[in-house]
Amino acid sequence: MQTKTIRWPAPAKLNLFLYITGQRSDGYHELQTLFQFIKRCDYLTITANSSNNITIAPELKNVPLESNLIYKAATLLKNYASYPYGAHIELEKNLPMGGGLGGGSSDAATTLVALNYHWDLNLSDKILSELGASLGADIPIFIHGKAAIAEGIGEKLSSVEPKKSHYLIAMPDCHVSTPVIFNNPDLKRDTPKLLHHELMNNKWENDCENCVKKHYPEVANTIDWLLEYAPTQLTGTGACVFSTFDHADEAELLAEKTPKWLNCFTSEGLNISPLRELLSTLNKN
């Protein structure tokens, strides 16, 4: 067991495009989406122990421990341990909940990757991804740790290297429910499937955007304001949106111009996640 306390990153992601190509008989939607990471992260400071207990601090407001994805991921992984391993996890929450940046899914993925390391379980990324997928469709991309096109319901990943643009990410003051959007009759569900090279060279759009804008005026107002200055679209099912720039100073300049009601930050796109970078460094030592 690795008992040294380690601060693990749980990075945000952007969906640079998101197309819904159909709906299966079980209700799940078939997707084609492009994931890229950004530098903004939650952090999980983890100390492994032999208590057989998982403790998390601070408690997430309105989220019981048993519903916390970090707790669920750690409990799932304990089934693979032959000893009464436990851990104390300190969560530094920087990513908004319900923002479409993957915060909860990324926290769960980091928990699986980190505890696999701390507890010396040596489970493969494939097994970790299967465990993660049982908790949430976005978790496998964070375990994969490389920019990728995701297909199926998000579980089929193909690594790609999109341009590492600079982004202004805006966080409208609302919480968009993913199930509400995917169950909405207004949602576009019939985009034709394309080959990867076609996807990478087309104009990128998000099939959820019109539906989200229609039902969440805060998102519509944010997108409309930013579109005056730069290409802007929704990430995931929202609520966060991003504007794309070639240079960091262009993103910073717009961030300084934004009105007080528009909460935003800037970040560079990353094709290798900070979690994957840290794990590589630890495994070399």
φ, ψ for residue 26 (rounded to 5)? Answer: -85, 5
Count of other CB atoms within 10 angstroms of residue 83: 11
Helices (H), the chain: 69-78, 103-118, 125-133, 139-144, 178-182, 196-201, 209-215, 217-227, 248-257, 274-284
Active-site position among 42, 138, 146, 207: 138
* DSSP three-state, residue 197: helix
Separation of CA 230 from chain center? 23
Asked if 284 is an active-site residue, the reply is: no
CA distance 213 to 25: 27
Instruction: For the chain, give percent helix, strand, coil, nearest 5.
Output: 35, 30, 40
| Catalytic annotation present for 138 | yes
Active site residues: 13, 138
